[in-house]
Structure 1
Amino acid sequence: MPFKHLKKAFQLTAVASLVSLLAACSGGTSGGPAAAQADAAANSGSGSSVSPEGRVVLDYWTWWGSETRRPIIEKLVDDFNKSQDKIFVKHSYYPYSDIFTKELAAVSAGNPPDIMMNDINTVQQRASKNQAMNLSKYVERDKVQDRFFPELWNTVLYNGEPYALPFNTDTRMMFYNKDDFKEAGLDPDKFPDTWDELEQAAQKLDKKHGNTYTRIGYSPQFNSDWNLLQLNFDGGRNFFDESGKPVVNAPAKAEALQYILDNAKRLGQKNIDAFKADFGSQQANPFLSGRVSIWTDVTNFYTQIRDYGDGINFGVAPLPETKEGAGHWSVGGGFVIEIPYGAKHPDEAWEFLKYMTDVEAQTYWAEKNFDNVANKEASNSSELMSNPVYKASVENLAHTKLTPNPLNAPDYMNLINPQRDAIMLGQTSIQDGLNKAQADVEKLVSGK
């Protein structure tokens, strides 16, 4: 199905999903009278962890409170509660800005939630500080490791043992306006292969009225950052090599920054900043409003195009390479589901972790949220893969690197970012700034 016709199909799907959700909720508290009693007990403040009908009540914390995601997560919780009569899971929502601090305080106080959704890149930090439970005995018993993409599974290991299960991930790709490409004399079905080709195409896509840009073809400062380009330019390597040595001032990092500076010099930093000042709601997004032709984002940006793009004829492509064969490397993030250290009912919590990462729940999450999920089979379901954007995102995972924070330098970006900013402001040279950042990170790693 052509991209510009996908909006209507997905709107129909969304309506059907809404009707289904409303039907599921029409009886009051989901799960029937027994579940209502369990929910009341769980919220009573009595401290009891057993519902009146004998179920073990588990408290599951997430920050998913939006109109889109909260009904989806609660539908999955409801399905789990209906699937058996031993465990009742209660979903507790806390704002993203508060939930992680609140969880750490609860763990320290010995009264953690039973289940927690958490950041994929910081599992090792929590494992090393006894903030997450070692899941080895459960994983070995139930053989769940093969469910997951290897890159994601590696993020949950500390000293070779798992402390969480991967839940979802993402990948950055290039969205581009095919009609703008046609207008500029570019092939709308062929996205530039290299960064140099991209810059050449961007110049053709730029439009001016006098000295004012009415459309900018591309800027790496739009919804992207140096972290993405530096990894792409450096063959998929982040700021540390395989041995854990900092490589902040590697030549490829300097080349990535030079590319950003050259683009800014051509367009004018004031023009870039003026466009960025207008970024805001989905409707004001410069790609959706036709003011930017090429936009880098996670692939569920597609849902914004679908809902607010007013029929944009768009394409999606991997990030360019520095040269042929260098690799279309991208960056990903995501979340894991884990049992906080000290949770009172780990056996029951594990059953919920298994359910949330199995094929059915993962497929439902992917279909409704358009997220890349951790379960390989769910990710490759025929219905999902029939959408060309989702199919492209799954294929892009093969070129996507996650960047877990190193244990001996979890806050290293606080040392790199000021030097990057000074370079962008012209306060220091690229090499001097990177050398200073390299020295600062080395000092942090050494502990001196």
Structure 2
Amino acid sequence: MKSTYRQRYRYTPWSAAALALGLVVGLSACGGSKAPAGDGQSGQAAQKTAEAGQEEKVTIEYWQYQYPAKVELIAALIDEFQKKHPNITVKQTNFPYDQYNEKVATLVPAGKGPDIINLYYGWLPKYVSSGYLQPLPESAFSEEQIKKEYFPFVDTAKLNGKYYAIPTAVRTLALFYNKDLFTKAGLDPGKPPATWTELVDTAKKLTQQDKNGQYVVEGLAWQPNAQLHHWYRDALVYQAGGKDISDDRRKILWADSPAGLEAFKYLIDLSLVHKVGTKDFYNDDITAFKKGVAAMNIDGSFQLGGIKKDAPDLKYAIAPLPSYKDKATQVSFWANSITKGVKGKKLEAATEFLKFLTSKEVQEQWVEKVGELPAKREVALQDKYAKDEKLGPFIQQLPYAHAHFFVDEKLERDYFVEAVDQVTLKQVPVEKAYDELVKKTQKLFDDYWAKQDKK
């Protein structure tokens, strides 16, 4: 079901006053009387005010997927924006996550989609190559400005030498853990696991199973199609001493060193060998964590708002991702883009709305209401966030965060999950499943770049 929020410009006493003044000036002119210089200046000012009130109104449409905390915040932000820009009306439209890309593919090419779209950064290559988007106006979002104000990984929004999207907020992965379950297991909640080995040992102590071997409490939530595939590419591989992708974004480097396989095996062994968690326990990882039946979870800062709303009494803490040979975490973001056919007054209005959404004030509201981190360095690194017990562990990892360049986010995720399932459900040797994963992922990149090189 599609939900829509509409805010419209309303006729105000100020516009009525301006109109009345304008009429007075007009009548005086018709009478032929010579007005004093001071009165003439007042009349001109009143006329300008009246003209401003009659300035052409424009309506723009904003799309984002249905994530309650974001939908509610954007609705409030639209009200705030329209008070500052009374001649711009912003209409918000939302779709379920699993329908979002389908709606874009159907409506945007037909010119029936949004003027501004909120999209996952991993979708950008596909959206740009499909002709859905236009580059951001350089007058408002120059490369120099973006590089100066934003964290370096925002460069993943730059394709063919131009930026096609700009984020309000970013998210990193960290370790969520239930302090009550730590205490119950005889563990110190003030000492979360800091290494790969400690994560396994701690998860084993926290895991509870019944007499039939069914999980009662997962030591570590284990959901490959949630955040674990990100954990693998942008954290585990780097932590094991490897690298995700070449600098030119053309080659997957997992198999160029032993690190890729070691990281893949570590992730799978958490469930297959150490038996600290299983796929789809309580439907998914975050549901299990909120209900207190998953003691730890690898997840993103964007979950903070949902936990606060859905599990306000949950006693939990956040820690940086456990490390190995090096420190690393994954970073990602949802960003706003302007669709291809937007021009003229609509483009001006869309640009103003994007400038508003990336302002310091809005980024601070986003932290408080959603839990995602400010995209601008000077905002994120303020003491009130960097020293916060929940936000701090996410923010302190930003200097060594990595953002994978997706050519097809859905297929890359699906290939990863299929490889994991091959090992855990069909007893395929881990080396064979891994080799197939690398080959299939590389083919995606080869096909993508072959098409780009022909343009």
Say yes or no: TM over 0.5: yes
Per-residue deviation, 1:423: 1.9
After TM superposition, give the deviation of residue 209 of structure 1 in Å: 4.7
Query: How is 1:289-368 mapped onto 2 (pairs within 5 angstroms)?
Result: 289-309=291-311, 311-323=313-325, 326-327=326-327, 329-344=328-343, 345-368=346-369
User: What is the percentage of aligned positions where both structures have the same residue?
Assistant: 22
Q: Shift of the alpha carbon at 1:415?
A: 4.3
Deviation at 1:34, TM superposition (A): 5.8
- Pair 1:124–1:444, CA change in 2 (3 A): closer
Give, as a single letter, the amino acid of the residue that structure 1 aligns with 2:126. Q
The alignment yields a C-alpha RMSD, in angstroms, of 3.5
From 265, 269, 278, the equivalent of 1:272 is 278
The structure number with the bigger radius of gyration is 2
Residues 135-166 of structure 1 show CA distances to partners (whole Å, capped at 9, x for unaligned) of: 25324669641564333420221122212222
- Alpha carbons 2:200, 2:274 under 8 Å: kept: no
1:153-168 correspondence runs (5 A): 153-168=154-169
Q: 1:34 to 1:306 in 2, by over 3 A?
A: same
Cα 1:33/1:126, change in 2 over 3 Å: same
Q: Which amino acid aligns with 1:318?
A: P
Alignment partner of 1:241 is 2:246: yes
Q: Measure the CA separation in 1 of the matches of 2:278 and 2:143.
A: 52
C-alpha distance after superposition, 1:380-419 (max 9, x if no partner): 4555456421222222222322222138x98445544433
Matched with 1:123 is 124
Q: CA deviation at 1:308?
A: 4.1
1:5-404 maps to which residues of 2 (within 5 A)? Answer: 32-33=10-11, 53-65=54-66, 68-135=69-136, 137-139=138-140, 144-146=145-147, 148-212=149-213, 213-221=215-223, 224-235=227-238, 239-243=244-248, 244-249=250-255, 250-266=257-273, 268=275, 272=278, 276-279=280-283, 285-309=287-311, 311-323=313-325, 326-327=326-327, 329-344=328-343, 345-381=346-382, 383-385=384-386, 387-404=388-405
Distance 1:419 1:239 in 2: 17
Moved more, 141-150 or 432-441: 141-150
Counterpart amino acid of 2:283?
Answer: F
Aligned to 2:11, the other structure's residue is in SS state helix
Q: Indicate the residue corresponding to 1:42 in structure 2.
A: none
Q: Which one-letter code corresponds to 1:93 in the other structure?
A: N
Query: Any conservation in 2 of the 1:230–1:252 contact (CA below 8 Å)?
Result: no
Deviation at 1:116, TM superposition (A): 1.6
Q: Report which stretch shifted further, 418-427 or 157-166.
A: 418-427
What is the one-letter code of the residue matched to 1:400? Answer: A
Number of aligned residue pairs: give it.
Answer: 399
Q: Is the 8 A contact 1:166 1:337 kept in 2?
A: yes
**Deviation (angstroms), 1:286:** 2.7
Letter aligned with residue 33 of structure 1: Y
SS at structure 1 position matched to 2:93: strand
Is 1:149–1:375's contact at 8 Å kept on the other side of the alignment? yes
1:206 shift after superposition: 2.8
Contact 2:7 2:89 in 1 (8 A): no
Alignment check: 8 A CA contact 1:126 1:132 kept: yes
Task: State the 1:30 CA deviation.
Answer: 6.4
Q: TM-score, normalised by structure 1?
A: 0.76
Displacement after TM superposition at 1:83 (Å): 0.8
Partner of 1:17: none
CA contact (8 A) 1:55 1:88 kept: no
CA change 1:238–1:127 in 2 (3 A) is: farther
- 2: CA distance between counterparts of 1:140 and 1:280? 38
List gaps (5 residues or longer) in structure 1. Answer: 1-24, 38-50
Deviation of 1:203 (Å): 2.1
In structure 2, relative to structure 1, the CA distance for the partners of 1:64 and 1:53 (3 Å cut) is farther
Q: CA deviation at 1:111?
A: 4.9
Task: Give yes or no for contact 2:60–2:350 (8 Å, CA) kept in 1.
Answer: no
Q: Name the aligned partner's letter for residue 128 of structure 1.
A: S
**SS of residue paired to 1:278:** coil
Shift of 1:174: 0.7
Relative distance call for 1:428 and 1:74 in structure 2 (3 A) is: same
Per-residue CA deviation, residues 65-105 of structure 1 (Å, 9 max, x unaligned), is 56543332122112211113443323233443444333343
Note the C-alpha offset of 1:267: 5.1
- 3-state SS of paired residue (1:217): coil
Task: State the distance in 2 between where 1:358 and 1:394 align.
Answer: 19
Letter in 2 for 1:349: A
The SS at the match of 1:311 is: coil
Structure 1 residue 419 and structure 2 residue 419: aligned? yes
| Kept in 2: contact 1:63–1:95 (CA 8 A) | no
**Residues in 2 aligned to 1:29 and 1:433: alpha-carbon distance in whole angstroms:** 52
What does the per-residue CA deviation read over 1:18-54, in whole Å, with 9 as the maximum and x for residues that have no partner? xxxxxxx9xx96654369x9xxxxxxxxxxxxx9943
Following superposition, the deviation at residue 180 of structure 1 comes to 2.9
SS of residue matched to 1:234: helix
Aligned pair in 2 of structure 1 residues 173, 353: CA closer, same or farther (>3 Å)?
same
